[in-house]
Amino acid sequence: MAGMNSVLTKSQQTKLRILTAAFNVASELGLDSLTIGELAKQVGMSKSGLFAHFQSRENLQVAVIQYAGDVFMQRVIQPVRATTHPSVTDKIHRLLEHWLVWNPAIQGSCMFLEAWCSAETAASSSVRSVEVQAALDTLTRQWLEYLRRQFVAAVDAGELAQSIDPWQAVYRIYGAYLSSQFLGSLGLETERKERFWQEIERIFADHKPVLAS
């Protein structure tokens, strides 16, 4: 949430405490597990006191998604931005490393996997509202667009061939990420995520720039 690192009022501090607890619950049990009643128990508040901050379960879930975006920025993107890299492709590797670490760091399933639920399913579901699904979609699109820009920068730097389709590269990365998470849940991915990294290396190998003879 905006102002996470600034001086907060008492009300803002309370809201931040609620969102932190809600984020932990959503990370462990899934976003759809969040209810005002259960969260009130988690933070030692009355339902009416917690309701006053969010007004509805949907608003609570949307706020948690936005909070997750802030945490993701702090844990994944900002550390990489703060470091000098020998190449753009090295920067991409570091981003992906932080992305993989982000998942177990928040106690369970990555919230980006929540966006795998289709908008059609959300629209017909009594569990997830269109507004909540839209917030998940926005968060995921922002991350994927950021990755796409890194591939454009790698092409501009002459590190990848002009023929690469940046969105296709992102498509392959996201597919590898989803596969790695799913196979990992079945015990079919190594602790070092070797299957994931093999696919990433193939992406870079497939698009090496052609050197002039």
Q: Are 48 and 27 in contact (CB under 8 A)?
A: no
CA distance 170 to 165: 9
Please tell me which residue, 5 or 204, carries the higher pLDDT value. 204
The SS3 of residue 130 is helix
Please compute the mean of the pLDDT values over residues 25-41 and round it to a whole number: 83
CATH numbers and ranges of domains, the chain: 65-206 (1.10.357.10)
Residue 120 has pLDDT above 50, yes or no: no
Q: Are 80 and 91 in contact (CB under 8 A)?
A: yes
Share of the chain above pLDDT 90, in %: 51
pLDDT of residue 90: 98
CA distance 173 to 63: 27
Closest to 139 in 3D by CA, of 166, 120, 111, 167: 111
Residue for token pair 């190594």? 190
pTM for the full model? Answer: 0.84
Residue 156 has pLDDT above 90, yes or no: yes
CB hemisphere CA count around 114 (13 angstroms): 32
pLDDT of residue 92: 98
